[in-house]
Amino acid sequence: MHFLSPILESYIANSSEDEPKLLQELTRETHLKVVQPRMITGHFQGRVLSMLSKIINPKYILEIGTYTGYSALCLAEGLQKDGELQTIEVNEELHEIQRRYFDRSGFGPKIKQHIGDALDIVPELDLTFDLVFIDAQKVNYDAYFEAVIQKTRPGSVILSDNVLWSGKVVEPLQKSDKATAVLLEYNQKLKEDPRVETVLLPIRDGLTLSRVL
Ligand SMILES: C[S@@+](CC[C@H](N)C(=O)[O-])C[C@H]1O[C@@H](n2cnc3c(N)ncnc32)[C@H](O)[C@@H]1O
């Protein structure tokens, strides 16, 4: 869904940093070979993630929902010299394409891939993350958030993607629409949760920034 007119969206993207060539190639290959290519982060939001990561300059990043690795590569751009990004993906078939692009990017040695359910893997990670990106199953957002906040410190930033869910969060709720119901609760919870300070940005499908207090 476009929240802004396509012409304004193009203007915004064209007035921002260009999409790196490697990410253009990854987008093409994802569209050719992988199902549901619309899940990929894309040019404008990717540059936003890159910029946020460069401003935060994290030592440790955690991502839930690698898909073909686009957002991981954007976030890795802001890592400290000796930093590390841990990214979790339940679909093992995506492992090869992720690794190929991670290695070509030069960030390969700094990116650790995990295959499996994030809800099993996050509790096993013995790290404190400065930046977390949640971008997997919407119905599990609250569970991901509760798992990752245990692995942060005051000042860490937790990003949650797709929180506007194509605008469904402001439409009459359909009984069968579990994802929207969960996101409505999740957005309310983040606003009220005393452990974080939150702003919801109307970037692409909605991106929430929560700063851990
Ligand atoms: C929206 S896509 C992620 C897009 C990616 N961040 C990007 O920008 O290119 C969501 C991904 O989360 C994965 N996923 C779903 N449930 C998961 C879980 N419980 N643990 C880990 N990954 C999961 C899906 O297989 C899918 O590849």
Looking at ligand 1, which atom is closest to the CA of residue 69?
9
Q: What pLDDT is attached to residue 1?
A: 67
Q: How far apart are CA 34 and CA 24, in angstroms?
A: 15
Q: What pLDDT, in 10s, does the model give residues 16-48?
A: 999 999 999 999 999 999 999 999 999 999 999
| Atom from ligand 1 closest to the CA of residue 136 | 12
Domain boundaries, the chain: 6-212
- Give nearest CA residue, ligand 1 atom 1: 39
Ligand 1, atom 19, lies closest to the CA of: 117
3 pLDDT tier (thresholds 50, 70, 90) = confident
Judge if the beta carbon of residue 67 lies within 6 A of ligand 1: yes
Instruction: Verify whether ligand 1 is closer than 6 Å to residue 162 (CB atom).
Output: no
* Model pLDDT for residues 191-210, shown as the tens digit of each residue: 999 999 999 999 999 999 99
pLDDT value of residue 2 = 72
Residue 122 Cβ contacting ligand 1 at under 6 Å: no
Q: Which is nearest to 196 in space by CA: 204, 184, 205, 187?
A: 187
- The pLDDT assigned to 66 comes to 98
* Ligand 1 contact, 188 CB (< 6 A): no
Residue in 42, 51, 103 with CA at minimum distance from that of residue 71: 42
For 165, counting Cβ atoms within 10 Å of its Cβ (0-12 exposed, 13-18 middle, 19+ buried), the class is buried
CA of 113 to the centre of ligand 1 (A): 12
C-alpha to C-alpha distance for 131 and 61, rounded to whole angstroms = 5
CATH number assigned to the domain covering 6-212? 3.40.50.150
Q: What is the pLDDT of residues 143-166, one digit of tens each?
A: 999 999 999 999 999 999 999 999
Say how many Å lie between the CA of residue 134 and the centre of ligand 1: 9
Q: Encode pLDDT of 99-122 as tens digits.
A: 999 999 999 999 999 999 999 999
Q: Which protein residue has the closest C-alpha to ligand 1 atom 18?
A: 117
User: Pick from 109, 73, 59, 67: which is nearest to 88 by CA?
Assistant: 67
Measured in Å, residue 65 CA sits from the centre of ligand 1 at 3
Is 80 exceeded by the pLDDT of residue 65?
Answer: yes
Query: Which residue among 22, 34, 38, 135 is best mutated to probe the pocket of ligand 1, counting the most ligand atoms within 8 A of its Cβ?
Result: 135
The alpha carbon of 42 and the centre of ligand 1 are apart by a number of angstroms equal to 15
